[in-house]
Amino acid sequence: MDAHSQWTGLDAERLERIGDHLERNYISNGKITGCQVSVARHGHLAYFKSFGLMDRERGKPTTDDTIYRIYSMTKPITSVALMTLYEQGYFQLNDPVSRFVPSWKNHRVWVSGEGEDMKTEAPHRPVSFRDVLSHTAGFTYGGGLPGVGIQHPIDKIYRDLKVRSIGGSDSMMTFLDKLGQVPLRYQPGAAWMYSLATDVCGALVEVISGKPFAQYLQEVIFGPLGMKDTSFFVAPDKVDRFAANYQRGPDKQLKLIDDPATSDFTREPGFKSGGGGLTGTSADYLRFCEMLRRGGELDGARILGPRTLEIMHMNHLPGGKDLTQLAIGGFSETANEGVGFGLGFASTMGQVQTGSLGVGDYYWGGAASTIFLVDPKEDLSMVFMTQLMPSGTFNFRGQLKSLIYSSIID
């Protein structure tokens, strides 16, 4: 065993299969232009490699400091930010959000019909902080998910009221008040639906702390953790490191959908989306993951207490159920079998049900196929970056778990 393997308990030769797999199945045949993989165990970097091109049109190779759109990998960061306020006693998980957003006292719940024939009822209980942290509040994405049009009468109301996150310009309070006018899709806590709930969490960070959301993230998370390239937009002096974003078309060819030189992400957005607005590097996100793995602290900077983090990656779905029993709507960043959901993270409840190695890891992904996981039991963190939409195109998570977990030899 080499010295490196002694520190990490990972077989270095077996880890090299990661590169072989990605080159053979994705890079050489043009299924993706490029990607990056980081694996750390016991606090040591065991594997970090960049593959292919970050920008096919300009022929630019992926560099170690390439900047990616992390989309929904913003959600765990936002959830951690809100929980730092929980730790300061501002709210309890079962408190109604209407304590801070009075307009939510008028929430209704959809029963049937649409338009003028829509029937609604009163909620059995108010939407709680736990609900917005765990996507069980009754919100939707308003039909705004990749490949998902207006599916439901409720989504039309989101469109009519212009309830938007990425690309929106409302103030945080206007955004929250608009959500108070849309009937909930289901009774709070009764189901799980991927939604604008984490944008709500970001807005609540701003409302409760009294600081602009981006400033709060910078002061409480990015600054202390040294996440120097993570931001809601890519600064002019960093644009040359910004990857291009691609979409796989019906013809299985890659089409450029966001040129880094002209991307909206090169300008500061009006609405800072806690659900999907951030850009950043592998190194930055690995620092965030390592803070999680270590129970809320990294290099002397404590972001959360270990007990808080523990409750965040427990399964908060009612009755200990998994997503197969509670999820409605076809889009999410996870498979449903054997998967629970906590406060900002999905978690693996059973290897047998998921059919993948590892149990107790918690994770999420982003719309451009980025993924991460933290496994407290194996003392492991992993970040995968690429720019391919939609995120469900290939099962990178399952494949990388097979490759990484089969390299654990201690």
Q: Count how many Cα atoms sit within 13 Å of the Cα of residue 93 in the half-sphere of its side chain.
A: 15
Question: In terms of domains, do 203 and 304 share one?
Answer: no
Query: Model confidence at 34, in pLDDT bands (50, 70, 90)?
Result: very high
The stretches of 87-140 forming alpha helices (DSSP H) are: 129-133
Helices 172-181/197-209 angle, 10° precision = 130
Residue 147: pLDDT over 60: no
3-state helix, strand, coil in the chain (%, to 5): 35, 20, 45
Question: In terms of domains, do 246 and 316 share one?
Answer: yes
pLDDT score of 168: 85
pLDDT score of 242: 98
Residues 6+ apart with CB under 8 A from 102: none
- As a whole number of angstroms, the distance between CA 399 and CA 26 comes to 12
Mean pLDDT over 295-309 rounds to 98
Residue 341: pLDDT over 60: yes
Q: Count how many Cα atoms sit within 13 Å of the Cα of residue 237 in the half-sphere of its side chain.
A: 1
Residues 6+ apart with CB under 8 A from 90: 208
167, part of any domain: yes
pLDDT score of 4: 65
Structure tokens at 146: 């990749």
CATH number at residue 340: 3.40.710.10
Question: In terms of domains, do 56 and 139 share one?
Answer: no
pLDDT of 358-385, one tens digit each? 888 999 999 999 999 999 999 999 999 9
Q: How many CB atoms lie within 10 A of CB 6?
A: 10
Residue 5: pLDDT over 50: yes
Residue 128: pLDDT over 50: yes
Query: Model confidence at 354, in pLDDT bands (50, 70, 90)?
Result: confident
Which stretch of DSSP H or E encloses residue 159?
helix 153-160
410, part of any domain: no
Question: In terms of domains, do 148 and 267 share one?
Answer: no
Q: What secondary structure letter does DSSP report for 80?
A: H
Query: Model confidence at 109, in pLDDT bands (50, 70, 90)?
Result: very high
Question: In terms of domains, do 176 and 243 share one?
Answer: no
Query: Model confidence at 387, in pLDDT bands (50, 70, 90)?
Result: very high
State residue 255 phi and psi, 5-degree precision: -120, 135
Query: Model confidence at 183, in pLDDT bands (50, 70, 90)?
Result: very high
- As a whole number of angstroms, the distance between CA 70 and CA 371 comes to 9
Question: In terms of domains, do 223 and 350 share one?
Answer: yes
Query: Model confidence at 2, in pLDDT bands (50, 70, 90)?
Result: low
| Closest alpha carbon to 275 in 341, 197, 329, 386 | 197
Report how many domains make up the chain.
2
Picking from 209, 226, 257, the residue at the C-terminal end of a domain is 209
Question: In terms of domains, do 335 and 313 share one?
Answer: yes
Mean pLDDT over 291-319 rounds to 97
Question: In terms of domains, do 228 and 338 share one?
Answer: yes
Question: In terms of domains, do 231 and 317 share one?
Answer: yes
Question: In terms of domains, do 137 and 22 share one?
Answer: no
Residue 150: pLDDT over 80: no
Mean model confidence pLDDT for the chain:
94
Residues 6+ apart with CB under 8 A from 152: 140, 143, 185
Helices 197-209/74-86 angle, 10° precision = 40
User: Cα–chain-centroid distance for residue 312?
Assistant: 14
Picking from 209, 228, 250, the residue at the C-terminal end of a domain is 209
pLDDT score of 336: 84
Residue 114: pLDDT over 80: yes
Reduced to 3 states, what is the DSSP secondary structure of residue 360?
Answer: coil
Residue 317: pLDDT over 70: yes
Question: In terms of domains, do 38 and 51 share one?
Answer: yes
Query: Do residues 114 and 151 make contact, with C-beta atoms less than 8 angstroms apart?
Result: no
Structure tokens at 372: 């991460």
Phi/psi zone of residue 120: left (φ > 0), alpha (ψ -120 to 50 degrees), beta?
A: beta
Q: Count how many Cα atoms sit within 13 Å of the Cα of residue 189 in the half-sphere of its side chain.
A: 15
Reduced to 3 states, what is the DSSP secondary structure of residue 329?
Answer: coil
Question: In terms of domains, do 281 and 173 share one?
Answer: no
Residues 6+ apart with CB under 8 A from 258: 69, 244, 245, 264, 265
pLDDT of 45-86, one tens digit each? 999 999 999 999 999 999 999 999 999 999 999 999 999 999
Is the Cα torsion angle 331, 332, 335, 336 positive or negative in sign?
negative
Give the domain range for residue 118.
79-84+91-209
Residue 1: pLDDT over 60: no
Picking from 183, 209, 235, the residue at the C-terminal end of a domain is 209
Query: Do residues 229 and 243 make contact, with C-beta atoms less than 8 angstroms apart?
Result: no
Reduced to 3 states, what is the DSSP secondary structure of residue 44?
Answer: strand
State residue 310 phi and psi, 5-degree precision: -60, -45
Query: What's the longest Cα–Cα distance across the chain?
Result: 70
Query: Do residues 368 and 358 make contact, with C-beta atoms less than 8 angstroms apart?
Result: no
How many residues can be counted in the chain?
Answer: 410
Mean pLDDT over 400-408 rounds to 96
Query: Do residues 379 and 366 make contact, with C-beta atoms less than 8 angstroms apart?
Result: no
Q: How far apart are the two ends of the chain, measured CA to CA in Å?
A: 11
Residue 152: pLDDT over 50: yes
Mean pLDDT over 331-354 rounds to 88
